[in-house]
Amino acid sequence: MRKISACILALVLLASALPLAITPAAAYEKKIPCDADGNNELTKEELVNAILPYMLGEGSYTLDDVGDAAWVYAYWDGKPKTIVDSAGTTITLYSPIERAVVLNSDFAEAVAVLDKRDIVVGIAHTITKYTKFFPEISTKTDVGGWYTPDVEAILATHPDAIFTYVKWPSTAKLDDKLPEGINVIRMDFYKAATLRDEMLKLGDLLDRTELRDQYLEWYDQYVDEISKRVAEIPEENKTRVFIDGGKGKTFGRRAYSTGTGMHDLCVCAGGVNIAEGYVEGYADVETEWILHENPDVIVGISYKGGYETDDSTLMKEHYD
């Protein structure tokens, strides 16, 4: 649909500027399509000078070139689009993202919220299991694990961009193995402190500002109300919580502390995470320590349930 709209735009622009001269199409790399002088400021003259030869079957520009150029001219003011992702990397787009690999379900949710499922061409293996939650996205090409993806499988999908976490996969496992020109865009979408800013940036990046604003209006409504109520709770009356991720990797139980999405949610809801200050991130803690701390509430996390099953047996076994 975006490509069709862009082509219609191109024809409208062409009709308004037919007297302009035709110049030879220029090859480009890391610049806006059809930007003949390569200064990354696409003018109407440059766009028309690309459209006319294409319509006459001449020149080197393709339908994708003129379609993308028309979109950039009409919606990006003829200039590249730039954001800084959550890893602090400056991301510059010279044409709209049309083919993206998504390496985790958190990013997949954000893409779905913005109704850009159609650009997804590859997904991490874990997403293939979420057929009910992601009926369309889950059918895309499996490119391996979210932590250690199959780079060859990624490249086989010919992506414009790869969407992944800030920390994972490491640059050594992903970025360093990619050819120049594929943007690795790192955002988390599971941390309360950064989620809103990330949605703002992704909505801008994918040209979905209207849907983004609708989502953030809904989001702010509830977050603001929760924050208002939590502010009224005296510190000494706040619920002490242990967030339990099940059996520890080496001993005891697995805790979620500072730096995790679950910790952020706990604090936002007015809870006090007893693991804060004792461990950081995802870490094993002694069962005896939990008993000694005597939390008011234990929030259990199990990845054996969810939308894909009505059977609670595996969740029960997780905590037996």
**Mean per-residue pLDDT over the chain, rounded:** 90
Banded pLDDT at 259 (limits 50, 70, 90): very high
For 268, phi then psi, to 5°, come to -60, -35
β-pair type (240-247, 161-164): unpaired
- pLDDT at 21 > cutoff 70: no
- pLDDT at 20 > cutoff 90: no
Share of residues in the chain with pLDDT > 90 (%)? 82
Alpha-carbon span 40 to 95, nearest angstrom: 11
The reported pLDDT for the residue numbered 59 is 84
Domains of the chain: 2-75 (no CATH), 83-209 (3.40.50.1980), 235-319 (3.40.50.1980)
- pLDDT at 237 > cutoff 50: yes
- Residues 138, 140, 143, 147, CA torsion sign: negative
**Listed range (101-105, 290-294, 312-316) with the worst mean pLDDT:** 312-316
Q: What is the pLDDT of residues 66-107, one digit of tens each?
A: 999 999 999 999 999 999 999 999 999 999 999 999 999 999
Question: pTM here?
Answer: 0.85
- pLDDT at 305 > cutoff 90: no
Give the Å distances, CA to CA, from 162 to 119, 154, 253.
Answer: 11, 9, 34
- pLDDT at 222 > cutoff 50: yes
Alpha-carbon span 198 to 196, nearest angstrom: 5
